[in-house]
Amino acid sequence: EPEVTQTPSHQVTQMGQEVILRCVPISNHLYFYWYRQILGQKVEFLVSFYNNEISEKSEIFDDQFSVERPDGSNFTLKIRSTKLEDSAMYFCASSEALLGTEALFGQGTRLTVV
């Protein structure tokens, strides 16, 4: 069964460092998403991406965040200068379309900023 894969599963980084989280969405899916979940809290939308551009982003997704689909298979989330409050689980998801379909999620990357 096709699945969304994310790497690494866990990343520890120093405050102020840049991190790149990687995702391989399901191959025939066209929409890609990043979400985050701070421990014990709700799953929060960060950004959606379609046709090589951002479709929608939340207020969390500020100038420190960027997304890229560099090679047609990977979908990355970059945080330029990490802060302690960026510590969370980051989930990548993809969907075939938007209306009437579902998003399938990866297992997540646990980011710990120290």
Partner 1 sequence: TQLLEQSPQFLSIQEGENLTVYCNSSSVFSSLQWYRQEPGEGPVLLVTVVTGGEVKKLKRLTFQFGDARKDSSLHITAAQPGDTGLYLCAGAPSGTYKYIFGTGTRLKVLA
Residue numbers at the binding site for partner 1 (CB under 8 A): 4, 31, 33, 35, 42-45, 48, 50, 55-56, 58, 89, 91, 93, 95, 98-108, 110
Residue 44 Cβ vs partner 1, minimum distance, rounded to whole Å: 8
Which C-beta is closer to partner 1: that of 103 or that of 113?
103
Residue 103 Cβ vs partner 1, minimum distance, rounded to whole Å: 5
Residue 13 Cβ vs partner 1, minimum distance, rounded to whole Å: 19
State the DSSP code for 10.
Answer: E
At 16, list the tokens: 């102020």
Residue 45 Cβ vs partner 1, minimum distance, rounded to whole Å: 5
CA distance 4 to 22: 11
Helices (H), 1-114: none
Which C-beta is closer to partner 1: that of 31 or that of 75?
31
Distance between first and last Cα of the chain: 37
Task: Quickly count: other Cβ atoms within 10 Å of residue 101's Cβ.
Answer: 12
Residues in the chain, total: 114
